[in-house]
Chain A
Amino acid sequence: MESIIQYLWLIPTAPLLAAGAGALLPRRRRRLSAGLAIGAISISFLLSCAAFWATLHSGRATSNFRWFDFGTTSVQMGWVLDPLGAIMAVMVALVSLLIFIYSLGYMAKDENFTRFFCFLALFAAAMLGLVIANSLLLFFMCWELVGLASYLLIGFWFQKPSAAAAAKKAFIVTRIGDLGFLVGMLWLYAKAGTHLFYDHGQGCLEPAAAGGLVASTAIALLIFCGAVGKSGQIPLHVWLPDAMEGPTPVSALIHAATMVAAGVFLIARVYPLMTPGALQVVTWVGALTAVFAASIAVAQSDIKRILAYSTVSQLGYMMMGLGAGGVAVGMFHLTTHAFFKALLFLGAGSVIHGCHEEQDIRKMGGLRLRLPVTFATYAVGMMALSGVPLFFSGFWSKDAILDALHHWRGSQVPFYLGLLGAFLTAFYMTRQVCRVFLGKPMTVEAEHAHESPPVMTVPLLILAALAVMVGFFGTPAWPWFQAYLDGGSAGFDLSKLMNEHQLPVMLLSTALVAAGIVWSGWIYGRASARPAREADPLEVAQPALFACVQKKFYVDEFYDATVVRLTTAFARFCDWLDRVVLGGLVRAVCWLALALARLDRNVDKSVVNEGFDIGTEAVRGAGQWVSRLQNGQVQRYLRVIGLAFCGLLILLLWGCA
């Protein structure tokens, strides 16, 4: 334990170095870049397994360090090794490894192959960093970096405007949630004085949560905002289906198995903060998302979009599991879902690859004969996702959630929503399988489809095996997974499977799943025999409702009309404020100054200058007039003097008299 914690940082660092090297490699070094990425993720996987092995024997170890100082304290960071992180690390590394290998085949013809592996490695590094982070800040940083990797990979085919737009949308929408997360994190930091999860063997979140209930709930909900954005919960789910613009391995890795589950992992990490009030919100958001997304999936025709909505819906289940059942319930579904959803996406990728980049399920059909391995593994994935009983992992994890919801003290409505979601899941997955693999080929491409190379099918087989097996680690009879997370040990007890708490729920969900599969199979099994252009049977039955669902309940349109338009209007307003109001004010001041200057100039010119001129002119004129007296005639002067003398004399004489 002590030795592994010393080297834990290597888990994310290895792929990070591979990413850095990949970024610097020239475009033609395709094999080197891929080799580096796969080698690095293999190292991460082996280290994760070692770490996992270590956690089987002892509880938790941390290693903290100072990042930087401020004031009289410093920002601490570190990594933690505990069952929650270890299981996640193993899952992430394993799925990443398989998908990296798969990508070798899938992306073989892409000219930016080198860059692709660089981005994938960057993603793996950030995701693994997030998993082992022992501080909410480090968690947030890695969280943003996985967002960056997701942005880069969604927009990987940047020549397509739709891909570039989807990438931007994904980044912006998740950032809306992240801002809530940031505020919550900072609030928590101020309140707790630290953002470490564990320090000196003690949990740091519990004391913070023990403070005011209202503040704690607010912090928890703000952090949950981040999870809502990243995990595509209502109302921030809109980016995830658009993210399918990225290459299929990316959809499988980032937008199905790992990154979108980071939101769930986040809630699991900060579970001590989650007050009952916050958990209620989590449960309700999860329940609404689960049913909402599942119902949209029913009416979609793009193979990846169906899976995307399914992912949104399943993330809703995980949230419900966290809210109603606790960490173990949510995390168990996260783990099983990661494997079978990665399997489904890779299977879809194989189908798309085989059908020459065709994604519309209405143009497929009959592929079971042409892509046998893909069909077999896809069927396993589909049954796992639908929750076909006993042999498929999805059944056990979903059942745990439904069971938790059934015993939830809040309300029974999420339980019924969960059941409805289970039915819808079975329905749309059966629809998809019928459309894609059964019936007969609808187009020429589907007729000439070919099976993918082994580099793609082998990961499918491994994932299919995992999709079956992982479920057995968390059955009610042998709840090893739950015990592992809680740090206890689990015994095998078959009777727990049969008690009156578990059995009714299990039977009910099984019945609903069966109903979904049978009904959907009945509708689409017949429909897939008909020509391609024909409308969906549901559309024939309920055209208005179907259109509404097909348009995803107009949520995107609603956002375009409100949020996007408001933002644009606000931006225009600010620009107008700058140009017209403030700029105008400056211009007005400028104009005022100019007007004053003109006034001053005119006063100068017409009053001061002119007045001066007139004054001097007058003085000159007067002088000229006076100077005429002085005519140089001395005798005249004398006469004047004489006259003046006489005058004075007269004045004197008369004045005296």
Chain B
Amino acid sequence: MTPSLNQYLVLSALLFGIGLAGALARRNAVLVLIGLELMLNAANLNFIAFWRFGPHPEKLMGLMFVLFSIAIAAGEAALGLALVIAIYRHRRTAQVDRFDSLKG
């Protein structure tokens, strides 16, 4: 049995929701980053699903987007982690709500 588009979408929405909740609610910067990753992957899942069930599955367009997205997500995760480590070294904490150096 192959799942339908709707099932994919529901899964991706759930995934996005979990990711969002994680990004918003967690205090640890690493976990916030993980939330972000989850949201990105939810988007990737959508790309794949829409491509697979779209009018031109032979053109590999969705796959291309996802590949780009994963590459960027990887870079982003690396940058994000690096930042987190830098901040951690500086502040001795990874709690996001302690960071307010962007305050206006």
Contact = CB atoms under 8 A, between A and B. Distances in A.
Query: Do chains A and B directly touch (beta carbons under 8 Å) in the complex?
Result: yes
Interface of A: 627-635, 638-639, 642
A635 B24 contact: yes
Nearest to B100: A632
Interface in B61-104: 96-97, 99-104
A635 B103 contact: no
Contacts of B102: 630, 632, 634
Given A631-B104, A632-B99, 8 more contacts: A627-B104, A628-B104, A629-B104, A630-B104, A633-B96, A633-B100, A638-B23, A639-B24
Contacts of B20: 642
A630 B100 CA distance: 9
26 contacts: A627-B104, A629-B104, A630-B102, A630-B103, A631-B100, A631-B103, A631-B104, A632-B99, A632-B100, A632-B101, A632-B102, A632-B103, A633-B96, A633-B97, A633-B100, A634-B32, A634-B96, A634-B102, A635-B23, A635-B24, A635-B32, A635-B96, A635-B97, A638-B23, A638-B24, A639-B24
Interface residues of B, number: 13
A473 B97 CA distance: 146
A122 B28 CA distance: 126
A384 B97 CA distance: 142
Contacts of A629: 104
A629 B103 CA distance: 9
Contacts of B25: 635
Contacts of A642: 20, 24
A106 to B, nearest CB: 115
A632 B100 CA distance: 4
A494 to B, nearest CB: 142
A632 B20 CA distance: 19
Contacts of B24: 635, 638-639, 642
A627 B102 CA distance: 11
Nearest to A629: B104
B85 to A, nearest CB: 16
Contacts of B99: 632-634
Contacts of A634: 32, 96, 99, 102
A632 B104 CA distance: 7
Contacts, number: 33
Which 7 pairs from chain A and chain B are nearest by CB? Answer: A632-B100, A632-B103, A630-B104, A627-B104, A632-B102, A631-B103, A635-B24
A247 B32 CA distance: 131
A630 B101 CA distance: 10
Contacts of B32: 634-635
Contacts of A635: 23-25, 32, 96-97
Which of B25, B32, B101, B104 gathers most chain A CB within 10 Å? B104
B38 to A, nearest CB: 14
A639 B25 CA distance: 9
Which of A628, A633, A635, A639 gathers most chain B CB within 10 Å? A635
Contacts of A632: 99-103
A241 B103 CA distance: 111
Contacts of A638: 23-24
A315 B101 CA distance: 121
Contacts of A630: 102-104
A216 to B, nearest CB: 106
B17 to A, nearest CB: 11
A633 to B, nearest CB: 6
Contacts of B103: 630-632
Contacts of B104: 627-631
A481 B85 CA distance: 146
Nearest to B102: A632
A148 to B, nearest CB: 97
Nearest to A645: B20
Nearest to B103: A632
A639 B101 CA distance: 18
Interface in B35-81: none
A244 B101 CA distance: 114
A635 B97 CA distance: 8
A638 B101 CA distance: 16
A630 B103 CA distance: 5
A627 B23 CA distance: 23
Interface string B7-41: 00000000000001001110000001000000000
Nearest to B26: A635
A630 B102 CA distance: 7
A633 B96 CA distance: 7
A634 B36 CA distance: 13
A634 B20 CA distance: 13
A648 to B, nearest CB: 15
A633 B98 CA distance: 8
A440 to B, nearest CB: 131
A258 B53 CA distance: 147
B99 to A, nearest CB: 6
Contacts of A628: 104
A628 B103 CA distance: 8
B84 to A, nearest CB: 11
A81 to B, nearest CB: 116
A633 B101 CA distance: 9
Nearest to A631: B103
A627 B97 CA distance: 18
Contacts of B100: 631-633
A628 B100 CA distance: 12
A101 to B, nearest CB: 119
A327 to B, nearest CB: 118
Nearest to B36: A638
B24 to A, nearest CB: 6
A67 to B, nearest CB: 98
Nearest to B29: A634
A629 to B, nearest CB: 8
A136 B103 CA distance: 107
B87 to A, nearest CB: 11
A508 to B, nearest CB: 132
Contacts of A639: 24
Contacts of B101: 632
B15 to A, nearest CB: 16
Contacts of A633: 96-97, 99-100
A635 to B, nearest CB: 6
